[in-house]
Amino acid sequence: MSDFKLLLVVAVALIDADRRVLIAQRPQGKQLAGLWEFPGGKVEPGESPEDALIRELEEELGISTKTACLAPVSFASHSYENFHLLMPLYACRKWQGEPQMREHTALKWVRPQKLRDYPMPPADEPLVAALCDLL
Ligand SMILES: Nc1nc2c([nH]c(=O)n2[C@H]2C[C@H](O)[C@@H](COP(=O)(O)OP(=O)(O)OP(=O)(O)O)O2)c(=O)[nH]1
Ligand SMILES: [Mg+2]
């Protein structure tokens, strides 16, 4: 257990007026490259999960939102080889700006039932089910 590492990552399902969800393809050179993910990233020391997500949305997509626009949906708890991922997933329906591709290889708006057509990290599978229930 001495090398057990718990990693806190926050992620978001941006939901548009047609109830489609934004997924983003992870770039080459990063862990899980090529897989489709919910935008987000690691919570840094001193940050709340919501602050971290607002920062990641700005960095990765160039959009801005507020804590009041972030609603919890579910969370992933998944053991990868080198760490255990704990990842709350928020839903967000209100933001400013148009998502831009700043760090990802591709962005795609997808209907919840179609999410299973896109290979995602293993941690995300239960989250897809939760989103289909929600939407
Ligand atoms: N953002 C995101 N990360 C996910 C998802 N599913 C999943 O297993 N992960 C994992 C991949 C990574 O090990 C970790 C998040 O890493 P990240 O590369 O997005 O972190 P970050 O945005 O802070 O990027 P960096 O500064 O570390 O490069 O969580 C997901 O749906 N979204
Ligand atoms: Mg990220």
* Alpha carbon distance 52, 54 (integer Å): 6
Look at residue 26 and tell me whether its pLDDT is greater than 80.
Answer: yes
Q: Is residue 1 part of a domain?
A: no
Q: Which of 71, 122, 131, 112 is nearest to 95 (CA)?
A: 71
Question: Is the whole-model pTM more than 0.80?
Answer: yes
**Residue 65 near residue 71 (C-beta atoms within 8 A):** no
Mutational test site, ligand 1, from 25, 37, 51, max ligand atoms within 8 Å of CB: 37
Pairing relationship of beta strands 6-14 and 84-92 according to DSSP bridges: parallel
**86 in contact with ligand 1, CB cutoff 6 A:** no
Q: Is residue 25 part of a domain?
A: yes
Q: What's the pLDDT band for 44 if we cut at 50, 70, 90? A: very high
Range of the domain at 89: 6-134
Q: Per residue in 60-96, pLDDT tens?
A: 999 999 999 999 999 999 999 999 999 999 999 999 9
Residue 68: DSSP 8-state: G
Q: Is residue 30 part of a domain?
A: yes
Three-state secondary structure call for residue 2: coil
* Alpha carbon distance 7, 17 (integer Å): 32
Complex-level ipTM beyond the 0.90 threshold: yes
* Total domains present in the chain: 1
Q: What's the rounded mean pLDDT across residues 12-33?
A: 96
Whichever domain contains 27, its CATH number is: 3.90.79.10
